[in-house]
Amino acid sequence: MSKAKAKAKQVKGKMKETAGRVKDDPAMEAEGRGEQLRGNARETVAKTGDRVKRSGAK
């Protein structure tokens, strides 16, 4: 997954979390936090892959 897609997942999660707060829906709020965490993890993986490629490691 690219860094851009990971960032989009984070934004989508933040929107869902906010919507859950507004609607007083704890399940939706938690789901949004989970999406943000998955987006953070995927972004970290993408960044690490970029660093490995730049270093020339195989």
At 6-39, the pLDDT tens digits run: 999 999 999 999 999 999 999 999 999 999 999 9
What whole-number distance in Å separates Cα of residue 22 and Cα of residue 41? Answer: 26
Q: Closest Cα to residue 17, out of 30, 4, 6?
A: 30
Do 6 and 35 touch, CB atoms closer than 8 A? no
Residue 10: DSSP 8-state: H
Do 38 and 5 touch, CB atoms closer than 8 A? no
What whole-number distance in Å separates Cα of residue 35 and Cα of residue 24? Answer: 18
More confident residue, 21 or 51: 21
